Chains A and B, each alone.
Chain A
Amino acid sequence: MISIALDGVTKRYTKGEHVLTPLENVSLEIASGDFFVLLGPSGSGKTTLLNLLAAIDRPDAGRVIVGGTDLAKLPSGRLASWRSEHVGYVFQQANLVPVLTAYENVELPLWLFPMSRAERHRRVSLALEAVGLLERAAHLPRQLSGGQEQRVAIARAIVADPPLIVADEPTGNLDHESADGVLTLLSRLNVERGKTIVMVTHDPRAAARGTRRMQLDKGQLLDLQPAGTP
């Protein structure tokens, strides 16, 4: 279980001669165990915010505190360790390593932990079972469908049992049926395993799965009605 707090966060990018500010003085709190959905048009800064939460980017101003840790204060090496222990990242594209089997792709994050081979095997099997792809463990990514690849990516995100799962438009490249399967999987992780989930999407159907929704536009956050609330 992990809670998140953004306090006055600003992030700028330089693109040629232009300075873009996707996030400006943004503050936000996400409670532990939330299925938080962030909506917004393309280029609104959703992925930027997600990257800050996942500790793969740093803010230019403000603080990002996840699970009580001020991420800005961690040096690069410790930040990497922190990521491996606390965050599972699901990308829009599965981003699997093409030369590794589904099993090996899921196993990747566990390489960073001192762990016996048997324990790694147990965890990878559990993760693949959770996404319903244990029988596809020996398949290479090119032998899987898009939906199956994304489920393997989710297995990779949960195999180290991180308390926070961030998902950047995880159904963006999937057909309706596959998208439903992935969203159901994320909901189950939230409900059954108590994972805090932060998902970026611009798909209203995907957003409906969240327990809390916010809109990001022009660098500002707008609280939306929680999904399912009349």
Chain B
Amino acid sequence: MKLARLIAKNLKRRPMRTLLTLLGVASAMLLFVLVESLSAGLDRAMGGTEAARTLVVYRQNRYCPQTSFLPESYVERIRKIPGVVSALPVKVFLNNCRASLDLVTFQGAPAEELLRARPVQVLEGDAARFVRDADAALVGRAFAARKGLRVGDSFRFGNITVKVAGIFSSAEPVEEDVVMTHLEFLQRAGPVNRLGTVTQFEVKIDDAARAKEIAAAIDDQFRTAQEPTDTRAKLAFLESATRDLREILGFARWLGIGCVAVVLALVANTVLMSSQERVREFGVFRTLGFREQHIAFLVLGEALILALGGSALGLGAAQLIVETSHVSIGSEGVSVGFRIVPALALRVALVAGAAGALAGLYPALRSASRPVVAALREA
């Protein structure tokens, strides 16, 4: 405890150097945390409870949701296929098919069916008003936070203007970033009237193990139709939609590793300089009766405080950015938010601790093992 107090005082010996090191570590760890929080967001997006029992029916050879036009009438034929529990026709409108930092996704469906089919809970506002008013929308809480929307607000995007009737949470994390509207409203909203066409069908099945078989049965129904279908499990669809993000994330992970290397180099440099300045002082400590391990503790402690302190700052800054910007990355209508969860904070602490310990190891061993007399001779 007393030595810890001494470590804290030593860090104030050169306050500017300590501050710059902390800021450097914080910047590097900010990047590391953002990369890891996107990964956590992606994991969460894949972690919905209904994804395994849900199939998504698209137009075959579609490029993106915007290019999938299926007759709404398919829904009745799909519902009759054995194993299908329900089928929901959904019209999707979004602003960008590829990876985007500001994805806006509207999903229109028959209001009452939508509320039955989706595992949503209206947190604010009124679901009845959503059902009643043709231009009403239920907004996912992540989207509402990102756009600063409240119940009663109007939200305009392109030709579409909706009134926020409620804000919902969902057991399916990706749905918390969409705006749910009436099907007909969305069909009429675009520059071309698309009444009678939908983008996709969301099909609930009775047994997840039969997903492949039922998907094949649906596609068989429409194999010779003018608009053939391509049916996949929702999980497979999500994986496909987020493939670009995964590739970006794979590269970003290398940046994250680079950030940890920066932390290591910064802390090692500072601690090495600090311990070299105090060689004689350590000699005095040893003369007073302090042992090698006390000296090692002083040096290692300094490295750990710099690494952990800087990382805490970086984590705090990342939390602030995520909380205030509500930024998310989306692709093909699937939005992935940045998530800083306790497990990530723990991982950051472990990585920072390991980097700090590694950075301090050499200076600590060198300082502790230097003979007392040699240390006292240092200028």
Contacts and interface: CB of A to CB of B under 8 A. Distances in A.
A97 interface: yes
Given A80-B291, A99-B12, A99-B13, A56 B2 contact: no
B9 A100 contact: yes
A98 B289 CA distance: 19
Interface string A85-106: 1000101000101111000000
A56 B372 contact: yes
Contacts of B10: 99
Interface centre among A56, A57, A89, A156 (most CB of B within 10 A): A56
B288 A108 contact: yes
A111 B3 contact: yes
18 contacts: A56-B286, A57-B373, A76-B292, A80-B286, A80-B289, A80-B291, A83-B288, A83-B289, A84-B289, A85-B289, A89-B288, A95-B284, A99-B6, A99-B13, A108-B288, A112-B289, A112-B290, A156-B288
B291 A77 contact: yes
B4 to A, nearest CB: 11
B287 interface: yes
Nearest to B2: A111
Contacts of A56: 286-287, 372-373, 376
Interface of A: 51, 54, 56-57, 76-77, 80-81, 83-85, 89, 91, 95, 97-100, 108-109, 111-112, 156
Contacts of B284: 91, 95, 97
B91 interface: no
B234 interface: no
Interface centre among B9, B292, B373 (most CB of A within 10 A): B373
B291 A97 contact: no
B163 interface: no
Interface in B274-292: 280-281, 284-292
Given A98-B13, A108-B288, A111-B3, 13 more contacts: A51-B372, A76-B292, A81-B289, A83-B288, A83-B289, A84-B288, A95-B280, A95-B284, A97-B6, A100-B6, A109-B288, A109-B289, A111-B2
A66 B291 CA distance: 20
Contact of A80 (B2, B6, B290, B373): B290
A83 B292 contact: no
A54 B9 contact: no
B372 A57 contact: yes
A95 B377 CA distance: 12
Contacts of A111: 2-3
A81 B289 CA distance: 6
A149 B322 CA distance: 53
Pairs of residues from A and B, 6 with the lowest C-beta to C-beta distance, nearest first: A84-B289, A56-B372, A99-B9, A83-B289, A95-B284, A80-B291
Nearest to A76: B292
A10 to B, nearest CB: 16
Contacts of B371: 57
A81 B293 CA distance: 13
Contacts of A100: 6, 9
B27 to A, nearest CB: 27
Nearest to A112: B289
Nearest to B289: A84
Contacts of B12: 99
Nearest to B281: A97
Contacts of A76: 291-292
Interface in B20-47: none
B254 to A, nearest CB: 40
Interface centre among A81, A85, A112 (most CB of B within 10 A): A112
Contacts of A80: 286, 289-291
A76 B280 CA distance: 19
A220 B285 CA distance: 31
Contacts of A112: 288-290
Contacts of B287: 54, 56, 83, 89
A57 B371 CA distance: 8
Contacts of A89: 287-288
